[in-house]
Chains A and B, each alone.
Chain A
Amino acid sequence: MSGQNREDLKVVNQARAKTDALSIMGGAPVYTGDLVPDGALVVKLKRSPHAFARIVSIDKSRAELVPGVAGVFTWRDVPHHRHTFAGASYPGNNPFDRVILDEYVRYVGDPVAIVAAESEEAAEKALKLVKVEYEVLEPVLDFETAEQSASAVHPEDDYVYQTDIGGDLAHNVLMSERDEDGDFEAVYASCPVRLDETWYTPATQQAMMETFRTFSYYDHAGRLTLVSSTQITFHARRLVAMALGLPQSKVRVVKPRVGGGFGAKQSMVTEVYAAAVTYLTGKPAYIQFTRQESCACANTRHAFRIRVRLGATEDGIVRALWVDSLENAGAYGEHAANVIGLSGHKTLPLYGKAEAWRYTGKAVYTNTTPGGAYRGFGATQGCFAVESTVNKLAAQLGLDPCELRLRNLPEVGKPMPAYYDEPLTSCSLDRCIETGRRMTGWDEKYRSAPFARQVGPHRYRGLGMAVTMQGSGISNVDNCTARIRLDDGGFYTLSIGASDIGTGCDTILAQMAAEVLECDIDRIVVNGVDTSYSPYDKGSYASSTTYVTGNATVMAAKELLGKMRKVAAERMGVAEGDLEFDGDEFTCGERKLTLTELGVESVNGHADWLTAAASFAGHTSPPPFVAGFAEVEVDTETGEVEVVDLVGVVDCGTVVNRALAQVQAEGGFLQGYGMALTEDVQTLPGGKLATNSFMQYKIPSRLDAPPIRIAFEESWEPTGPFGAKSIGEVVINTPSPAIAAAIRNAVGAEIHALPATAEKVYGALRAQGADSHV
């Protein structure tokens, strides 16, 4: 087989259009909302106007009388089984803190009742007629003081911890943990340079363009079937079964094309409501969230406060590093216990010379929109804090921040203690830094002091950078399976359980199979996910599909090729070792057997049906790396920040698809830009999310988008498929610390809480007494 060498690759490492490109762009009916069966009940949710309350009574009698209403369901009417919305391998860290509807409502927008009706109008009308009496409770709105609050967000007595994660519910502590190596206090105390800095990252929105939606019905076999816009098809089956108290065999989940997710759809959101209606009425049901519901009543990035203590030598070697994270879980605990760890474990290892490191984390419940998974998953928050601290160190020492990073990098071949002791098997971060330096003209432009590069009246430029890492799947937890067969028309069918949500995994997995099978991707049909027919895959998250499902795909394709060779050799009457295969036909001297003939053979009783399946579970999670750079121009009169250059240099191992990887990186960088500058989460005094629409929550438009320049410095990951690692998440992390550093480099303003709005930058300038430049 080809491919132990990047130069030999024919399909992998090339640009290929996505296999579904023309249908999804052309408006084919392939998304959840296009496939809803006629007559499905419209499902709407009555939501709490209070951040925290106990439901005293609900009068639904008038709502039920609205013509066309098929049912109004309250917490007394639906099954009561504690579960979680979090899609993560089981058993895991996510507590079972939800029921479909509860006696308590825990944030503004928490569902109070489910209305199902024959039309949207009837459902809306009924919603208004559901009368609820609340006992309003004192909400916990500030996550920094949640522990001291007199209110407990989760007072219920049937709350379930799957495992002990150090929680203390009476004080709103969902979990707490600590990990360390070396004597932090002693090493820190002995350092000549010490920093102790606190940083804040907000609860930004994933803001995928297709809002949450699910429809449900009973299939031919009497299974409760959900068609849902999800990243976690198999987890959703288990969790819906759990919520309704059904055996998993009675639930089926199908994932059609999905209009983006970025982690938002790694949690269930709409699934249980549609499922409950079908379960209770027997009828098909459809729920589609409005954009407002998607913003305020689903899940967001977890807001963090991160205190970083860093001890270093005077030449910038980081000797002691402590990441202390406080995470706002919001009202429910989806992913909180897993997200937080990455704030330490995916930042600390980058400072590979540290003699002592420590990570401490605590997640607290509050009465705010639940947190969840969002691309970067804690690494993003940690990256802003740690990289901002390191940038401050560089500024204090008068060291070039690129140079400082190069002095601290972990070494290939050595274990990374802060990264679960996994060995570093591939890393070209040093090359990434050097390339970015060249691309930005860093050495010519960079000045260590602020106000050194005036480019106009009250306009100054500055440069900043940051480095980051992510993982490739979750070691020893994720299991992904691929199944591939030769069909009798001489083509292949690749079945996967991984969820293509626009990422293009159907395409890149086909490229990997095609590389093994010496063909191009047009000969491979990829089947999306239906829990009835697809092999198990934990779903698309944790930057795992390329690496974990990719490895499974390569293994399955190799096994199939082996079987094909065996059958071909038997049929041709030659020794297997003498066979040549060019993707179209097997040859041995004058003898030939075409792929189509072999396909026919495999279904004609002469041989076994040619099919192979393979599962892969990684024992390591090789990190991809990015060096990110930003050049900004700051207007000191207004505080406005204009990013004039955003550069990312990526080590994702082998680039599997040159076009798609480029776009993943560009898209991730722009999301990071939004987090840095335009996406300003604001909450009203009673706890209601004010930025609950695209009118108020501003994701970058193409006029905002700065020039984004991406380059790849490929390494070869020995455990990866064709040397590949992940790319999906790592690309979002660096823009916010790089832009913040560039702002400081330009005008000295230090931004500790994202986003760096003009008003905040202007305020920082005033506070530092830089009036002479204002």
Chain B
Amino acid sequence: MTLNFALNGRKLSREIAPDETLLQLLRDCGMHSVRSGCDTSNCGICTVWVDGKPVLSCGYLAARVEGRAVTTLEGVKDEAEALMRCLAAEGADQCGYCSPGFLMCALAMFRELENPGDAEMRAYLAGNLCRCTGYASQMRALAKYAEGRRSK
């Protein structure tokens, strides 16, 4: 079937299988930031935005994005950079494999919530698992990033 959608602001028309996942489609489109982690919609690694909302691309049928706007980390690199630098300074990336999904959910959170505190951030990001860091460094980085946003 033919799928028409916008990827990071660019209109695309592609042939897809009806049971193709958004994850497969995006990787085929060269979006290397989109990675699989668990296959059961539990880990958050494959997070992308559909119409601005974070979703799990491993469980999202590609067919469903017909006419919608899909955003991956490649499409919000500039917006992500400050947060990435905060994470790097804390050493909060470690293996880095879960980072793009985490960044996509965190950026969505900062767009959605005015001034989230630690508990609110933990709740919003609970679906992003990380096995390396123990999360504390990520939370420190988020707090510093949020502080930087406030002082702007």
Q: Which of A's residues lie within 8 Å of B, judged by CB? A: 15, 17-18, 20-22, 24-29, 31, 33-34, 206-211, 257-260, 262, 290-292, 501-504, 657, 659-660, 662-663, 666-671, 693-695, 699, 701-703, 705, 708
Name the interface residues of B75-116: CB closer than 8 Å to any CB of A. Answer: 77, 80, 84-85, 87-100, 103
Q: Is the CB of B95 within 8 A of A210?
A: yes
Chain B, Cβ-Cβ closest to A33: B35
The 8 closest A-B pairs by CB, nearest first: A27-B33, A502-B95, A24-B96, A259-B97, A670-B134, A666-B134, A659-B91, A21-B88
Q: Is the CB of B84 within 8 A of A21?
A: yes
Q: Is the CB of B135 within 8 A of A26?
A: no
Chain B, Cβ-Cβ closest to A210: B97
Q: Is the CB of A705 within 8 A of B32?
A: no
Cross-chain contact of A291 among B32, B38, B99 (Cβ < 8 A): B38
B residues less than 8 Å from A663 (CB atoms) = 90-92, 94, 132-134, 136-137
Nearest-CB distance from A188 to chain B (Å)? 39
Tally of B interface residues using CB under 8 Å: 52
Cross-chain contact of A24 among B38, B39, B93, B123 (Cβ < 8 A): B93
Name the interface residues of B124-152: CB closer than 8 Å to any CB of A. Answer: 125-139
Q: Is the CB of A669 within 8 A of B91?
A: no
Nearest-CB distance from B80 to chain A (Å)? 7
Q: Is the CB of A209 within 8 A of B133?
A: no
Cross-chain contact of B134 among A258, A501, A693, A708 (Cβ < 8 A): A708
Chain B, Cβ-Cβ closest to A261: B95
Check: B42 CB closer than 8 A to any chain A CB.
yes
Check: B45 CB closer than 8 A to any chain A CB.
yes
A residues less than 8 Å from B38 (CB atoms) = 291, 693-695
Nearest-CB distance from B150 to chain A (Å)? 22
Q: In whole angstroms, how far apart are the Cα atoms of A705 and B85 in the complex?
A: 24
Q: Which of B's residues lie within 8 Å of A, judged by CB? A: 31-40, 42-43, 45, 72-74, 77, 80, 84-85, 87-100, 103, 122-123, 125-139
Known A-B contacts A209-B98, A209-B129, A262-B131; A694 and B42 likewise in contact (beta carbons under 8 Å): yes
Q: Is the CB of A21 within 8 A of B134?
A: no
A residues less than 8 Å from B84 (CB atoms) = 21-22, 25-26
Q: In whole angstroms, how far apart are the Cα atoms of A534 and B138 in the complex?
A: 33
Q: Is the CB of A702 within 8 A of B32?
A: no
Known A-B contacts A24-B99, A502-B95; A659 and B134 likewise in contact (beta carbons under 8 Å): no
A residues less than 8 Å from B135 (CB atoms) = 666, 670, 702, 705
Q: In whole angstroms, how far apart are the Cα atoms of A502 and B122 in the complex?
A: 23
Q: In whole angstroms, how far apart are the Cα atoms of A662 and B89 in the complex?
A: 12
Listed A/B pairs (28) with beta-carbon separation below 8 Å: A18-B88, A18-B93, A22-B84, A24-B93, A24-B97, A25-B93, A27-B32, A27-B33, A31-B97, A208-B95, A209-B95, A209-B98, A209-B132, A210-B95, A259-B35, A259-B97, A260-B131, A502-B95, A502-B97, A659-B137, A666-B133, A666-B135, A668-B134, A670-B135, A694-B38, A699-B129, A701-B126, A702-B126
Chain B, Cβ-Cβ closest to A707: B136
Q: Is the CB of B95 within 8 A of A259?
A: yes
Cross-chain contact of B132 among A33, A260, A291 (Cβ < 8 A): A260
Q: Is the interface of A mostly helix, strand, loop or mixed?
A: loop
Known A-B contacts A659-B89, A662-B91, A694-B43; A26 and B132 likewise in contact (beta carbons under 8 Å): no
Q: In whole angstroms, how far apart are the Cα atoms of A667 and B137 in the complex?
A: 9
B residues less than 8 Å from A34 (CB atoms) = 32
A residues less than 8 Å from B33 (CB atoms) = 26-27
A residues less than 8 Å from B88 (CB atoms) = 17-18, 21-22, 25
B residues less than 8 Å from A21 (CB atoms) = 84, 87-88, 93, 96
B residues less than 8 Å from A210 (CB atoms) = 35, 37, 95, 97
Chain A, Cβ-Cβ closest to B121: A702
Known A-B contacts A659-B90, A702-B122; A209 and B37 likewise in contact (beta carbons under 8 Å): yes
Q: In whole angstroms, how far apart are the Cα atoms of A208 and B139 in the complex?
A: 20
Chain B, Cβ-Cβ closest to A709: B136
A residues less than 8 Å from B90 (CB atoms) = 659, 663
Q: In whole angstroms, how far apart are the Cα atoms of A259 and B99 in the complex?
A: 10
Known A-B contacts A17-B91, A262-B131; A702 and B37 likewise in contact (beta carbons under 8 Å): no
B residues less than 8 Å from A657 (CB atoms) = 91
Known A-B contacts A663-B137, A702-B139; A504 and B91 likewise in contact (beta carbons under 8 Å): yes
Q: Is the CB of A502 within 8 A of B100?
A: no
A residues less than 8 Å from B132 (CB atoms) = 208-209, 260, 502, 663, 667
Cross-chain contact of B94 among A260, A292, A671, A703 (Cβ < 8 A): A260
Q: In whole angstroms, how far apart are the Cα atoms of A671 and B93 in the complex?
A: 17
B residues less than 8 Å from A705 (CB atoms) = 134-136
Known A-B contacts A504-B91, A708-B136; A207 and B131 likewise in contact (beta carbons under 8 Å): yes
Q: Is the CB of A693 within 8 A of B40?
A: yes
A residues less than 8 Å from B92 (CB atoms) = 663
Q: In whole angstroms, how far apart are the Cα atoms of A511 and B45 in the complex?
A: 30
Nearest-CB distance from A674 to chain B (Å)? 9
Q: In whole angstroms, how far apart are the Cα atoms of A663 and B141 in the complex?
A: 12
Q: In whole angstroms, how far apart are the Cα atoms of A403 and B104 in the complex?
A: 48
Q: In whole angstroms, how far apart are the Cα atoms of A211 and B37 in the complex?
A: 7
Q: Is the CB of B43 within 8 A of A209?
A: yes
Nearest-CB distance from B107 to chain A (Å)? 12
B residues less than 8 Å from A27 (CB atoms) = 31-34, 72-74, 100
Cross-chain contact of A695 among B42, B131, B137 (Cβ < 8 A): B42
Q: Is the CB of A666 within 8 A of B77?
A: no
Q: Is the CB of A702 within 8 A of B95?
A: no
B residues less than 8 Å from A33 (CB atoms) = 35
Nearest-CB distance from B117 to chain A (Å)? 14
Q: Is the CB of B129 within 8 A of A26?
A: no
Q: In whole angstroms, how far apart are the Cα atoms of A211 and B35 in the complex?
A: 11
Chain A, Cβ-Cβ closest to B34: A27
Known A-B contacts A27-B32, A671-B131; A20 and B94 likewise in contact (beta carbons under 8 Å): no
Cross-chain contact of B37 among A206, A291, A503, A671 (Cβ < 8 A): A291
A residues less than 8 Å from B128 (CB atoms) = 702
Q: Is the CB of B39 within 8 A of A667?
A: no
Chain A, Cβ-Cβ closest to B102: A25
Q: In whole angstroms, how far apart are the Cα atoms of A17 and B90 in the complex?
A: 7
Q: In whole angstroms, how far apart are the Cα atoms of A666 and B134 in the complex?
A: 5
A residues less than 8 Å from B85 (CB atoms) = 22
B residues less than 8 Å from A694 (CB atoms) = 37-38, 40, 42-43, 129
Q: In whole angstroms, how far apart are the Cα atoms of A208 and B132 in the complex?
A: 8
